[in-house]
Amino acid sequence: MKIIVTGGSGFLGHHLIQALVKAGHEVKNIDLKANPEFPTVIADVRNTDKMLKEISEAQVVFHLASLIEAGESVEKPTRYIDYNVNGTLSILEAMRVNGIKTFIFSSSAAIYGEPKSVPIKEDDRALPINPYGMTKLAMEGLLSSYVKAHGFTGIALRYFNLYGPEEHHEPETHAMPRFIKQIYEGQEVTVWGDGKHLRDYVYVDDIVRAHLLALDLAKKEPQKYHYFNLSTEKPASVLEIVNLIEKTIGKKAKIKHFPERPGDPRVLYASAQKAKEVLGWQAQVSLEEGVRKTVEYFVKDWHKQSN
Ligand SMILES: NC(=O)c1ccc[n+]([C@@H]2O[C@H](COP(=O)([O-])OP(=O)(O)OC[C@H]3O[C@@H](n4cnc5c(N)ncnc54)[C@H](O)[C@@H]3O)[C@@H](O)[C@H]2O)c1
């Protein structure tokens, strides 16, 4: 199939492109920056004229391009709405004009805000607590309206805490790569609150597999709006993660506790029952295995850089 991936030079996009190519698909990556291992059209998804040309041959679009920092979105809400909401609208419009109808995109646990109860189910209240989450919810709303109005097939994949090898964000605010670096280098490990907050960590290969299954679902059940939690259903605390990294690296963490962050829910995890029943997806990689593979990648990468 001819597939467009937007944001394919980022952490997840990089893994997704590899899997799509391996499965025999013809992929075009559109991103603001280059993917060192895959040809990239350097372009901004908000540029609809450019998108009209660049996506014209495609059958499916995987839309990953987005600004992704919840904290930063509080400081720069206008920028987040522009990149994420206008960016999505631009792609949807370019698809509509070109008659391309299948859109699969990266939504997020952030749409739920502070859940009333856990495990979170897809039809629970969605009330974001930061502009980033709001943009993801708005992106879902745009997509569902294109499904209704223009016969699109839309699939929103709501990832929980995604982690794995090759995660490089600048600045790195995500817990897993930050902890690995801090423990490896003997720096203080910053933990907000008592470290007993529970989160749902999903390994990148599991998330990638869900995208391939989404392609099948789009064929089987077209012209519908589908939305799924992608979660392990097995929450782990920040301290458990630190402990697993300590064991893998063989070094003790110097934990420094900072005050709890306002609006940081104690427990955040989801039911993946719907993904299991409709998408045929279930997380397969255990936290122990995922952390081990992630640590091994980073340690090898740092060795390579220092030699
Ligand atoms: N990493 C997580 O834990 C997580 C959790 C839930 C959802 N998500 C979502 O998954 C997707 C991928 O996340 P990631 O961790 O790979 O992020 P990432 O920052 O590594 O990748 C995003 C990519 O999008 C590109 N991009 C941003 N704005 C663009 C624009 N206007 N035009 C073209 N390209 C643009 C960036 O250059 C970057 O390469 C994002 O949509 C993110 O919101 C991530």
Report the residue among 30, 66, 178 best suited for mutation to probe ligand 1: largest number of ligand atoms under 8 A from its CB: 66
CB atoms within 10 A of CB 294: 24
Report the residue among 4, 9, 12 best suited for mutation to probe ligand 1: largest number of ligand atoms under 8 A from its CB: 12
45 lines ligand 1 (CB under 6 A): yes
In ligand 1, the atom with minimum distance to the C-alpha of 9 is 39
- The model's pTM: 0.97
pLDDT of residue 136: 98
pLDDT of residue 211: 98
Residue 247 lies in a domain: no
Phi, psi of 234 (to 5 degrees): -125, 85
CA-closest candidate to residue 229, choices 167, 298, 176, 282: 282
Q: How many domains does the chain have?
A: 1
- Mark whether 132 is an active-site residue: yes
Vertex 285 angle, CA 283 and 289, to 5°: 160
CA-closest candidate to residue 226, choices 241, 239, 215: 215
164 lines ligand 1 (CB under 6 A): no
Centre of ligand 1 from the C-alpha of residue 200, in Å: 19
13 lines ligand 1 (CB under 6 A): yes
7 lines ligand 1 (CB under 6 A): yes
Residues of the domain holding 219: 2-163+202-232+271-284
> Measuring CA to CA, how many Å separate 29 from each of 83, 128, 273?
17, 30, 32
Residue 180 lies in a domain: no
85 lines ligand 1 (CB under 6 A): no
Nearest CA to ligand 1 atom 43: 68
Residue 217 lies in a domain: yes
Residue 300 lies in a domain: no
Residue 262 lies in a domain: no
DSSP letters for the chain? -EEEEETTTSHHHHHHHHHHHHTT-EEEEEESS-BTTB-EEE--TT-HHHHHHHTTT-SEEEE------HHHHHH-HHHHIIIIIIHHHHHHHHHHHHT--EEEEEEEGGGGBS-SSSSB-TTS--B-SSHHHHHHHHHHHHHHHHHHHH--EEEEEEE-EEE-TT---SS---HHHHHHHHHHTTPEEEEETTS--EE-EEEHHHHHHHHHHHHHHHHHS-SSEEEEEE--S--EEHHHHHHHHHHHHT---EEEEEPPPTT--SB--B--HHIIIII-----S-HHHHHHHHHHHHHHHHHHHH-
Centre of ligand 1 from the C-alpha of residue 8, in Å: 8
CATH assignment at residue 126: 3.40.50.720
Residue listed under structure tokens 């391939």: 212
Residue 278 lies in a domain: yes
Burial profile 223-239: b = 16 or more Cβ within 10 angstroms, e = fewer? eebbbbbbbbbebbbbe
Nearest CA to ligand 1 atom 34: 31
| Rounded CA separation 17/9 (Å) | 9
Residue 255 lies in a domain: no
218 lines ligand 1 (CB under 6 A): no
Residue 297 lies in a domain: no
Q: For every one of its 307 residues, what pLDDT tens digit does the chain have, with 9 covering 90 and above?
A: 999 999 999 999 999 999 999 999 999 999 999 999 999 999 999 999 999 999 999 999 999 999 999 999 999 999 999 999 999 999 999 999 999 999 999 999 999 999 999 999 999 999 999 999 999 999 999 999 999 999 999 999 999 999 999 999 888 888 899 999 999 999 999 999 999 999 999 999 999 999 999 999 999 999 999 999 999 999 999 999 999 999 999 999 999 999 988 777 889 999 999 999 999 999 999 999 999 999 999 999 888 888 7
83 lines ligand 1 (CB under 6 A): yes
CA-closest candidate to residue 101, choices 157, 138, 148, 65: 148
CA-closest candidate to residue 25, choices 102, 115, 121: 102
Write down the catalytic residue from 80, 83, 132, 201: 132
